[in-house]
Structures are given as C-alpha cells and as structure tokens.
Structure 1
C-alpha cells in the first residue's frame, strides 16, 4: 500500500516538473521574431530587439520583464500599445533612439510595475500631460536629447517613487511653476544643456531634492534669477560652476561672484489708459503699472514738469500686486504695483500729457496718459446775438422768401400766358374786318398763309380774268356779319376767355352757275378747295375730317358733291336756321 502511494506521488511530481519546465522555457522562445533575443539578464527575463527595423513593439511572452527596442523606427506609440500585446509585466523599457515623434498619453497604461523608461534621443517636441498615469512604481525617467521646449503645469502625475528625472540636452526654455509639484520623492534632476535663462525657486521646492545639474544654459543674471541663485548657492545642490551669459555687464561672471544687489531688472511701466476724459470741477483718477527689481521710484510729470501736491490738488496711491501667470515673461512675485493719481478738482490747467516715470539703478521707463477736457469748455465762449442782429436775420429771411415768391409768380404768369388763348374781344379794327370779305385761297394750311393764294381783301377783282395765276377754280367769297346779342353764345366747349357777340355767316359763290362747277353747300357736306404749295397740280378737294356744313349739320368731308340739287344762282346767300331751344338766350 505504501509503495502505491509513493509511486503516485512521484508520478505527479514528474508531471508538474515537466510542465513547469516547459512553461518556463516558453518566454525564451523568440524565434518567430528574427531580431529579438530572449535571455536572463541581471536576474530579469529580458528580450533584446535592438536595431531590428521594427515599426511597433513585438508580441512576446507576457513573462518578459525587460524589453530593449532601441534603434528601431517606431515613430509613435499608440494608445495602450503594451496592454494590447499582453506585456503587463514590464519593469524596464528601453525606447532610446526609436525616432519617436508622438506618444499617446495612455501608451504606458496598466504597466503597474514599470520601474524605468528610457525615451532619450528621440524627436519628442511635446510631452503629453500625465503621460505616466498608472505607472506609480516608476523610479527613473530619461527624456534626454529631445526637442522639448516647455514643461507645463502638472506635467507629471503623482509618482511617489520617482527618484531621478533626466532632461539634459533638450531645448527647454520654460519650466512652469507647478510642473514638478507631484514628484514629492524626486532626488535628482538633470537640466544641463538647455535654453533656460531663469528658474523660479517655488518650482524646485521639493522635499527630497538632493542634486540639480544646471550647467550649459544661457543664464541671464538679472532680477528674475536673483532669488533662485541665492537659494541654489546656499542649498549645495550642485557642485558645478554656473556662468552668467546676460546681461552684457555680467557676461562670463560666475554665479557666486555676482552680488545679488547688482542683479536688477530695468523698470517696466504700462499706463492704465491712453486718454482720460474729465469734466471741470469733478475728480479724475488714472494710473500706471510699474514693475522692477529693485523697487523703482515713481514720479508724475504734467507736460514735462514734475508735479507735487502743493502745485496741484491731487492724491497718490500705490497698490502692490503679485503676478501668478505662468509664461516665459513671468516677473518676480511681489515686484509689481499700481501707482494711481487722483485729481480732486479738475481745472483747465490739468489738461495735457501726464507722464508716469519709473527709475531705478537698472534704468528708467515712462508711460504717457493724455487728459482732455470737453471742447466746449476749452473753446472761446460765444455771446448770444443782440436784437438788431436778430431782426436783421428775420428780415433777411423774409426778403429771401418774398423774392422767391415773386419769381414763382412771374414763372406762373409766363406759363399761363403761353397756355391761355388770347382774348377774343372785338376791337374797332376787328369790327371793320368782320364787315370785310375774306377770300379763301386754294391752300388753307397755316404754313402757307403768306402765299398769294391765302387770303385777300374783297377789294380784289372777283372776275375770273383777275384770278391769281396758277389757280384752277374760282374763289369763294365768305362774308361774316354779326350784331352782338342777337343769338345765344356758343356752348361752353367752344367758349373763349373773352365773350363775343353773335355772328352771321353768309357764303357768296360767284361763277357761271354751271352744274357741278361748285359743290352744293345747301344740300350736303362739302370741303372747300385747297391749294398745295404748287397751287396747280393739287387735287381740287382735301379730306380734313368732320365739317359743319352750311345747313348746320356735322358730316365728313366728301371728295365731291352731288350736282342734282345745284342751283345756278349767281349769289346764293346762306342764312343760319334758328338755334335749337337749348341755345336760346337766357
């Protein structure tokens, strides 16, 4: 029975040992990656994949504790890249000279036992904030020889075990105030060969800090470096000699040989406003912002003349301000103040250029503020116009209106004169003409009124032998007679501005009485003959539209007249019939 138990025990021991040995040997199998070699090194399971032209971290056994990928063209590390390939037991990670240009903030997420990471000799210009979040066991971070320019506030998360941070050979110009405040256990920081000109004491107020390397930076030994320089020399954190590069008066001097009193900054002045608008008799306040170490003295000038309380009614007030901005142009805290001036009673003599002048051993600076008053108060007063002047203005305006009215009246009169027909009242001459006989020529157009065939007086011979040469018919004699008041006036549409008396019209036709020779004026409409300019070749009759015939009816002109009712009377007289009832005189 005891023999069976012993054999069974040995059986399970052999199986366990075999399995364990095979499992232990799996991490050593890197044959599927030609450039990787897996081995024991310093008691760690190490995979060396250097210079293997790898574009991403290889997939290896999860037991690997040290991974060396230096000199591979990785270029970037994506999010959770090591978590995705199962390398969660990494303790040391060498990514030196892998041409990294970007790293995701969560690239090292879940590497909880990571102790060392080397990112030196890459192209990292920006380091993501909290890049090592979740790597609480980190002790060493190497970022040397990367083109980093700035470490922002809270650049690193809480790393309670970080002892060494190497940033030498970068291009750092600014380390903001709170960039390292989460590194409570930091003992060594290397900032050699950067572009730092000054540092703040508060940035390196770390409880465990023991060593700082600062050589190879273009230190400017002025007021911004003054406080840090005094603290660093007293702390004994470095043994190397640090040299001043700027200003020129301190160039080449060692820190320990530069007196703190000589590390001054020229005053800087900024005005609160460029123009102040004030009212006479009221108060006005303006001021300037002054910075400088040592503390500069401030005076006020009005148009180049220094003012005092005795020369002008004013009050001066100074207020200290602490700068907390985290920019490359930060000023030393406590070195800034506002200098305000209050004019209690503004007068016209206060207008002008006010200059704030700050002076110290490092130099002088100025800012100008213009105080202006309302224009109406600075201009010459204008007196109210007197009664004579006022009357002159009133009468002048009335005269101008009268002239305009006269001109308008003249224009209206001229226009009415052109549009209103002339008066038709009968003068003595017109009455004589009424009794006269008017010979109607063969051409009745207005344009030809001056031709020999237009109108002629009755004194001309009425015989056929005396007709004007060139006319092809006998003239028609029209006699106009009338006695005012015998008949009612014409309708309104025929009225003219000046009323006239009744007119009797009789038509006398002289001729041989041959039928068809002349149109019958008593029995139908006809048109009197018209002569053209040639007076001979024109047709005997025109067509000038509606006519009022001798019988009183309205009809259209006809090319000829009927001869059926023609009379051969030598001198027929046409008399107008009695007017219709609507035209009876009232």
Structure 2
C-alpha cells in the first residue's frame, strides 16, 4: 500500500524539477536568447539580439550577457522591476549606453563582475555603484570619460580589478581611487595622461599598473611619480616619454631622477603701474622652475637691491610658494615670489622694469612699466559759515523785493502817461464808423450800430431818370490818427482841435470820380457808389478821398455841420442808412 504512494511522490518531485528546468531554460521565449549551464552558473546569453530593454527572464539567472544590443540608457531600478536580483555577472558592453541612473544597479547585492566597456559614457556619478558592495571586477575601458574627480568611486571594499584603458583620460585627481583600498590591478594604458600626482596610484595592495601609450611629458612634474613607479615594481611594461624633445621615445628606465627638470618661467604683477612722485609703491614677480631659478629685478641694466637712504628706501623680499594643489600643475614646489617696495619714489625710477629668472636649464623674464607723474596740489574749499549763508540769502530776497517794487512803479507811471480817449458829440458819432449799403430794387436798408445807438431810416428819391439802375455800395469810414499834419493855427483856439479822416472808395465803372469834399460839390450825380472812411483822433475829424486832400476842422466849428449837410446832399440820390457810433 505504501510503495505505490512513494512512487507518486517521487514522480511529482521529478516533474517539479523538470518544470523548474523548463522555466529558466526557455529564456522567456526570446528567440535570440540562449539559456544554459556554464561553469556551474545559470547563464542567459542574449548578445546581438536587437534588444532595446533588459529582457524579462527567470529570477534564477546568475549570468546575463547583453553585449552588442542597443539599450541607450538604464533607468531607475531596472533590474529590481524584472526581479533579476540573483545576477552575479552582468555584461553590458557595446550596448550604446549614454546614461546610467544612480539607482539602476540597486539591490544587486551579489554582483561580482560588471562590464560597461565600449559604450558612450561621458560621466559616471559615484552613486552609480552604490549598493553593489561585493563587486570585484569593474570594466570601464573604451568610454569617453576624459577625467576622474575626487572620490570618483564609492567605498567598494572587495573591488580588486579596475580597467580604465582607452577612456581618453587626461587628468586623474590624486584622490580619485581613495575609496578603492583593495585594488590590486589597474589598467590605465592608452589614455591621454601627460603626468599624474605621485599619490594617485599609491594604494596598499596594488600589484599591477599599466601606463603605456600615454603622452608622458618627462619634466620636473613627473619626477616624483616616475621615481615611485620604478620603486613600486608594478610590472615589466615599458613606458616611454613623448617630451621634451631630448627625451622623446626614451624609456623611463633610462632617465635619471635629476634629469627631470623644468625651465624657469616668470610673470609680473601688475604689468603697468602708475604713481606720483613721492608716493609709496609695491610690485612683484612670480617665478618658478626646477631646479629653483635665481630671480632678480632690473631697472635698465642695473640690478635692484635693498637700499635705505634719507631720501628713498627700497626693499626686495623673496618668498617661497609651496603649492600642494594638484589642479594648478605646480607640483615641483619650487615657486617663489619676489616683491619690491619703494618709499618716496623719484623720477629716476620711472621706465621699464625687468624680472629675470634663470637656471642651468634656461631663463625667462617678465616686464613691468612704471609711469610717474608730478603730484598736484589742490586747495580745499571750506564750507561757508552759517551766519554768512543766512546774510547771503536775506540779501538776495531783498534785491528781489526791490526789483518787484520798481517794476510796479514803472508800470503805474507808464499807464498814467497814456492819453485818455475822448468822446464825441452826437453829430460826430453819426459820422464815425458808418457804412452805406445800397442794393438793386431796394428803397431802404437797415442801419445799426455796435454801440446800440438809435436806428435812423432815411429814404431819398432818385431824381435821375434811370431809377431802376443798380447802385453799388458806398462805404464811408471815419478815423482819427496822429499820423496826419496838424491843422492851421487859426483852428487851435479857442476850442479844442481834432482830426477826422474820411476815406472814400469808389468802384471804377468807366466814369470819373466826383471830387468829394474838395469844392463842396454834390455827389448826387455820381454814377458809381462811393465809400467813405472816417478816422478820429485827439485833434478832430478828417475826411480822405482817393482824389482829394485831407480836410481838418474843429470839433465845435460850423465846418462839421456844413460837412454833414454836404454829405446829406451828395447822398440824396441813394437809399442811405447811417449808423452813428
């Protein structure tokens, strides 16, 4: 009874194993992926499968090969989302990777080998490798990384091999590998390194270091590293120099320590200096070289030394500059600063100064131009005293007030000197600013005044037989003006005198103009209308006509009445209307 039951259990166990075997061996039914046992590991090979993402495979996969696909980038928790957490080896070489998220490899705690070679990675954040503490082999070669910064990698206690060859590296910070204390092998060949700090690869367990095919410049900056490398005995690889010219293509093994030298160089600060005679100035020169050069300041052909007199004092100071910063390229610790201070400087020190640095390797110089000008004296202006300022303001106010008063007095005086206007009698007002209008078929016209005088309507019969003829307008204007000559002396006394001007304008219709007011001729026979203009002034009333001279008469003289009668008679043939102003 029990024997068949045991066979059933055995059959179910075998079926379970077969089923499990089929789950990881089918490779997620991906056509170009092959899953098999390799070196006792469950291996999935998906190379050149035209994949654009990490395939979803069985969680039992331990080795995954994805090289020669087009992944482009790895996003956050890429392997955690598809439950590939048992990976021990991961090959992502030649997958066109450009970006890797900082948490892409998170939770791959048993990963021991990572291959990111032959990709397009330009920058790797230190956080990219966080979480893969068991990593032992990291392959980064053939990526355009160009530079490694301080603490480029996190703490990886088990990392023993690092491949960074063909990464276009031209600079490696001295502390780039400070967290990789277990490193035993570093491949850094075929890069662009010309020199490195002697402490860059100074790791306690390092056994192999490849540095060939780099453009090493064998001068004083490489001296200490060259010495360390030869003494560390990190391999039998031959490393060659590319410069300077006398060491080109010569192996490091054949160059002695004292032959790693640097020619001197110098620079002045500032290059142009302006000051006044009698002032205190200071300037300096920064020089470097290995061996340490001798630096001096010259004015013309004369070397400047310390000098102290009653008139002038010159001090020359030399300071050694020890530069321990790697990024300044000053590793030789042979820099120096030569400073010159001059008190109460005179004209003889103006001109071009020269800083000269020389050693048995070579020499260098830097120039400084000093311009001196004569000091200018200026008189300081004292602030005005407060009482004086108040007096000045008060005086200005008084002058302004006096000017205003004088202006008012002049204006009133000028106004009083003007001659007041004179009023006229009623008869004279009838002659002032009058107008006469006549029209065809009209017996009377309106006569009005702007001053509100009474309206006078007068009609006169036309004696002429041509009673139906259209009469043109006659305008009479009376005006006074001081431009006409004074009247005869007999009209000056006993009454006041005034001039009245009458201007007459007649339209020309081929007939002769009647001579108004000249010989007291009647204008009743004029066949064309006449225009009178009157002007008044202080002297009297004048009449002007185009063909007559000006007549003057007294305001109270009987001549004005005679003139009025003459006007009435001469206008008897018209329908007239006068307006007295």
TM-score, normalising length from structure 2? 0.65
Deviation of 1:490 (Å): 8.1
Question: Structure 1 residues 331, 486: CA separation in 2 closer, same or farther (over 3 Å shift)?
Answer: same
Q: Is the 8 A contact 1:55 1:75 kept in 2?
A: yes
Q: Does 1:299 align with 2:296?
A: yes
- Find the aligned partners of 2:95 and 2:180 in 1 and give their Cα distance: 27
Q: Secondary structure at the match of 1:202?
A: coil
- Superposed, 1:565-580 pairs within 5 Å as none
Question: Structure 1 residues 343, 511: CA separation in 2 closer, same or farther (over 3 Å shift)?
Answer: closer
Q: Does 1:288 align with 2:304?
A: no
Question: Structure 1 residues 323, 129: CA separation in 2 closer, same or farther (over 3 Å shift)?
Answer: farther
Q: Is the 8 A contact 1:53 1:72 kept in 2?
A: yes
Question: Structure 1 residues 490, 364: CA separation in 2 closer, same or farther (over 3 Å shift)?
Answer: farther
In the alignment, which residue of structure 2 is the partner of 1:61? 58
In the alignment, which residue of structure 2 is the partner of 1:122? 119
Q: Does 1:157 align with 2:154?
A: yes
Q: Is the 8 A contact 1:295 1:335 kept in 2?
A: yes
In the alignment, which residue of structure 1 is the partner of 2:265? 268
Q: Is the 8 A contact 2:283 2:341 kept in 1?
A: yes
- With CA pairs under 8 Å and 6+ residues apart, which has the higher RCO, 1 or 2? 2
In the alignment, which residue of structure 2 is the partner of 1:86? 83
- Find the aligned partners of 1:190 and 1:514 in 2 and give their Cα distance: 142
Q: Does 1:339 align with 2:338?
A: yes
- Find the aligned partners of 1:510 and 1:308 in 2 and give their Cα distance: 120
Q: Is the 8 A contact 1:281 1:346 kept in 2?
A: yes
- Superposed, 1:228-377 pairs within 5 Å as 228-310=225-307, 313-327=313-327, 330-332=329-331, 334-376=333-375
- Residues 138-183 of structure 1, C-alpha deviations (whole Å, 9 max, x = no match): 1111122223321122211111111011122332111122111111
Question: Structure 1 residues 326, 74: CA separation in 2 closer, same or farther (over 3 Å shift)?
Answer: farther
Q: Is the 8 A contact 2:524 2:571 kept in 1?
A: no
Question: Structure 1 residues 485, 330: CA separation in 2 closer, same or farther (over 3 Å shift)?
Answer: same
Give the root-mean-square deviation of aligned CA atoms: 4.0
Q: Is the 8 A contact 2:155 2:179 kept in 1?
A: yes
- Find the aligned partners of 1:115 and 1:268 in 2 and give their Cα distance: 50
- Residues 204-226 of structure 1, C-alpha deviations (whole Å, 9 max, x = no match): 12111111111111211101111
Structure 2 unpaired stretches of 5+: 379-484, 499-515, 534-540, 573-581
Q: Secondary structure at the match of 2:263?
A: strand
Q: Does 1:562 align with 2:568?
A: yes
Structure 1 unpaired stretches of 5+: 383-477, 492-507, 532-539, 567-586
- Superposed, 1:218-229 pairs within 5 Å as 218-229=215-226
Q: Is the 8 A contact 2:197 2:326 kept in 1?
A: no
Question: Structure 1 residues 95, 564: CA separation in 2 closer, same or farther (over 3 Å shift)?
Answer: closer
Deviation of 1:16 (Å): 6.0
- Find the aligned partners of 1:216 and 1:321 in 2 and give their Cα distance: 34
Alignment counterpart, residue 202 of structure 1, candidates 195, 199, 214: 199
Alignment counterpart, residue 488 of structure 2, candidates 477, 481, 484: 481
Q: Is the 8 A contact 1:526 1:561 kept in 2?
A: no
Aligned positions, number = 431
- Find the aligned partners of 2:96 and 2:224 in 1 and give their Cα distance: 39
- Higher mean C-alpha deviation, range 167-176 or range 12-21: 12-21
Q: Is the 8 A contact 1:304 1:355 kept in 2?
A: no
- Higher mean C-alpha deviation, range 361-370 or range 58-67: 361-370
- Find the aligned partners of 2:84 and 2:497 in 1 and give their Cα distance: 128
- Find the aligned partners of 1:240 and 1:166 in 2 and give their Cα distance: 16
Question: Structure 1 residues 10, 486: CA separation in 2 closer, same or farther (over 3 Å shift)?
Answer: farther
Deviation of 1:75 (Å): 2.6
In the alignment, which residue of structure 1 is the partner of 2:20? 23
- Residues 408-429 of structure 1, C-alpha deviations (whole Å, 9 max, x = no match): xxxxxxxxxxxxxxxxxxxxxx
Q: Secondary structure at the match of 1:23?
A: helix
In the alignment, which residue of structure 2 is the partner of 1:582? none
Deviation of 1:514 (Å): 6.1
Q: Secondary structure at the match of 1:97?
A: coil
Q: Is the 8 A contact 1:165 1:190 kept in 2?
A: yes
Deviation of 1:296 (Å): 1.2
- Find the aligned partners of 1:72 and 1:300 in 2 and give their Cα distance: 66
Q: Secondary structure at the match of 1:226?
A: helix
Question: Structure 1 residues 110, 490: CA separation in 2 closer, same or farther (over 3 Å shift)?
Answer: farther
Question: Structure 1 residues 41, 310: CA separation in 2 closer, same or farther (over 3 Å shift)?
Answer: same
- Find the aligned partners of 1:340 and 1:223 in 2 and give their Cα distance: 25
- Higher mean C-alpha deviation, range 114-123 or range 359-368: 359-368
Q: Secondary structure at the match of 2:120?
A: coil
In the alignment, which residue of structure 2 is the partner of 1:110? 107
